[in-house]
Amino acid sequence: MSDPILKRYYLDIMSTGIDVHIGLNDVPLLADPEGNGVRTILPVNEWLAPGVNTITLRIAWPESKQHEPGKAELKVFLFEADLEQELPEPKTVLAELVWPPPGAPELYPRKLEEPFKIEPALPTKLWEEAEPIQAVGNADQAAILALVEHLRRALLANDLDTALRLLNYRWQEDARANGLNLEELQTAVREQYTYMLSEPSPHSTPLDPEDASFILGADKRIVKVQAPNNDEAIVIETEEGRYHIPIYASKILGRWTIVR
């Protein structure tokens, strides 16, 4: 049986012709640096802190393209979904950002922000349990990368018990944020990983510490681990596809933990 139904929140994104990095509370969620275009709707319950949150957009003209005024278009809005609809449809729009703004000059680079508030707060624990840190020092980076490598090796070894243990906090939070049954969610995740690893020749390259970036956000509570070229910390390739596994870590009870 699932937990009581909670409100569901989504980030609706449409962009074309623009280098855009989109996040919530300065935590990066999606990037299109080449300006190839994005059209997606992301569920974001697990990213929403109690009280005021902020959509953050960093935009620029793609380095590989000649600037053409009037070609860029960006629309981002966050909405509470109508739970009576089968697919995510807005019940209430809580925040909206549009680029370029009507009648304003198209100047780059820019950072755009739009605050919004959710009520009641979602029953996640990260925001009270994660320790704020001032900077991601060398020891922190080493500890986070060791966690990433442990997970990468567990997946390649098909050791899903270890992989799910390393991801336990993440899936607990997902269940809390979305009113899901934890055991059913973990079973679904195990099935997804089993399917991925059943494809021919799964392989992956370790993230070189010299190439890793650590992006601090969410009021200094979450660190996004980034590979070069805006890639994810873990990428598993098979003969049939390429799977990107994002890693977001926080310090919980003094230990670095994968939290999202």
| Residue closest to 194 by CA, chosen among 243, 155, 168 | 155
Q: How do 222-227 and 9-16 pair as beta strands?
A: unpaired
Exposed/middle/buried for 42, CB within 10 Å: 0-12, 13-18, 19+?
middle
How does residue 6 score in pLDDT terms, banded at 50, 70 and 90? confident
Query: What range does the domain containing 155 cover?
Result: 128-258
Write the DSSP symbol of residue 130. B
pLDDT in tens, 14-29: 999 999 999 999 999 9
pLDDT in tens, 111-154: 999 999 999 999 999 999 999 999 999 999 999 999 999 999 99
Is position 3 within any domain?
no
Is position 1 within any domain?
no
Q: 106 pLDDT exceeds 60?
A: yes
60 and 151, same domain (yes or no): no
Three-state DSSP at 7 gives: coil
How many residues comprise the chain? Answer: 260
Is position 221 within any domain?
yes
Is position 87 within any domain?
yes
Question: Helical H runs in the chain?
Answer: 126-129, 138-156, 160-166, 168-178, 182-198
Is position 63 within any domain?
yes
Structure tokens at 231: 């890639």
217 and 159, same domain (yes or no): yes
d(C-alpha 147, C-alpha 256), whole Å: 8
250 and 135, same domain (yes or no): yes
pTM of this structure? 0.92
- What is the CATH number for 187? 3.10.450
Question: CA torsion angle for 194, 197, 198, 200 (degrees, to 10)?
Answer: 170
Structure tokens at 92: 């209430």
* Cross-strand bridge partners of residue 76: 13, 97
| Residue closest to 26 by CA, chosen among 60, 62, 58 | 58
pLDDT in tens, 158-206: 999 999 999 999 999 999 999 999 999 999 999 999 999 999 999 999 9
One-letter identity of residue 9: Y
107 and 189, same domain (yes or no): no
Our count of domains for the chain comes to 2
